[in-house]
Amino acid sequence: MTASNRIPLAGVIGSPVAHSKSPLIFRTWLRQLGLRGYYIPMDVSSADLEAALRNLPKLGFVGVNVTIPHKEAVLQMADQVSDRAALIGSANTLTFLDDGRIYADNTDGYGFLENLRQTAPGWDPKSGPAAVLGAGGAARAVLSSLIDAGAPEIRLTNRTRSRAEALAREFGTKVRVQDWVQAGNMLDGAATVVNATSLGMTGKGELRVPLDALAKTALVTDLVYAPLETPLLAQARSIGCTTVDGLGMLLYQATPGFERWFGMKAEVTEDLRAVVLR
């Protein structure tokens, strides 16, 4: 078989990787579009990561998604890094170029924004400050994309204040750190509210932020998608806010990789959401 008529292979690398929804997402698109191709979960240790990445193109892989704990480490191994991956400080989408070089990109911020734009077309990130809770890896992608989208100010809070301050130093003067115990205050006048902590997830602690200061014109979104409607989203909805769940971010962040590797546009539909939720 020549390289050109090889069946394209892609997959997700992590450790553990069994929980990843990516195989289900990619296989659904491959089936719906009638494309030849396979998408494989690969549990790879940190010690084996670089050797695995160097060998995958030789086996017919066109690219891979990367998940915990390798998202930062792959940046060092890549031959080319997109601006947004460099800014976020991690990569989730690696494309193997024809000459075997590795191109690292991060589509988390894209997924975050695209989910909001498609689900809430009336939302305008420029219309007012954003309030972001959390300062982990997910928050980095959220901050970079909100700045990119023109949010005039970003109020950031985190249980561990020093992590929020480190992000503010990196992302510039638009980012203002607020104290975690006063998180409710930063909702006053916010146009966009984002939970980028793991609080609210099934089995994790509750996110306790009073929403009294929140205007009903605000858009509220949660990166947690299990449950789909977190207590934060339920409360915000009862006030009258537009709410967007976090499942869409997971689905939209996968679309650029699919298009690059398999050559067709992947659609995020209600059917796909139902498949992933089942």
Residue numbers annotated as active site: 71
State the angle between helix axes of 161-171 and 137-148 in degrees (0 to 180), rounded to the nearest 10. 30
Residue 57 phi, psi dihedral angles, 5° rounding: -60, -35
DSSP 3: G
The helix/strand/coil state of 56 is: helix
Tell me the CA distances in angstroms from 32 to 29, 169, 267, 271, one per residue in order: 5, 45, 10, 10
Q: Judged by CB under 6 A, does residue 249 bind ligand ATR?
A: no
Choose the binding region for ligand ATR from 52-60, 110-118, 197-205, 260-268 (rule: CB under 6 A).
Answer: 197-205
How many residues bind to ligand ATR according to rule CB under 6 A?
15
Peptide bond connecting 23 to the previous residue in cis, omega within 30 degrees of 0: no
Which of 23, 71 has the CB closer to ligand ATR? 71
Q: Are 117 and 123 in contact (CB under 8 A)?
A: yes
Minimal CB distance to ligand ATR: which residue?
Answer: 136
Token digits of residue 145: 């994309």
For residue 11, what are its two tokens?
A: 């997959």
- Smallest gap from residue 259 Cβ to ligand ATR (A): 25
Determine the angle formed by the axes of helices 22-33 and 270-277, rounding to 10 degrees. 140
Contact flag: residue 160 with ligand ATR (CB under 6 A): yes
| Binding region for ligand ATR (CB under 6 A) out of 3-11, 119-127, 192-200, 255-263 | 192-200
Q: Are 107 and 257 in contact (CB under 8 A)?
A: yes
Question: Cα–Cα distance between 96 and 274 in angstroms, integer?
Answer: 31
Dig out the tokens for 278 from the structure.
């089942």
Which of 139, 149, 175, 254 is in the footprint of ligand ATR by CB under 6 A? 139
CB of 175: closest distance to ligand ATR in angstroms?
14
**Residue 37 or residue 246: which is nearer to ligand ATR going by CB?**
246
The answer to whether 231 and 207 are in contact (CB under 8 A) is: yes
Of 94-102, 182-190, 198-206, 253-261, which segment contacts ligand ATR by CB under 6 A?
198-206
Nearest-10 crossing angle of helices 108-119, 137-148? 60
Angstrom distances, CA of residue 115 to CA of 47, 119, 131, 221: 35, 6, 17, 10
Contact call for residue 137 and ligand ATR (CB under 6 A): yes
For residue 64, the minimal CB distance to ligand ATR (Å) is 19
Nearest residue (CB) to ligand ATR, 38 versus 171: 171
CB closer to ligand ATR, 9 vs 175: 175
Nearer to ligand ATR, 22 or 242 (CB): 22
Return the range that interacts with ligand ATR (CB under 6 A); candidates 81-89, 91-99, 152-160, 185-193. Answer: 152-160
Only one of the segments 20-28, 122-130, 190-198, 246-254 lies at the binding site for ligand ATR (rule: CB under 6 A); that segment is 190-198
Site for ligand ATR in 202-231 (CB under 6 A): 205
Closest distance between ligand ATR and the C-beta of residue 177, in Å? Answer: 12
**For ligand ATR, the closer CB: 200 or 256:** 200
Binding residues for ligand ATR, per CB under 6 A? 134-139, 158-160, 163, 196-199, 205
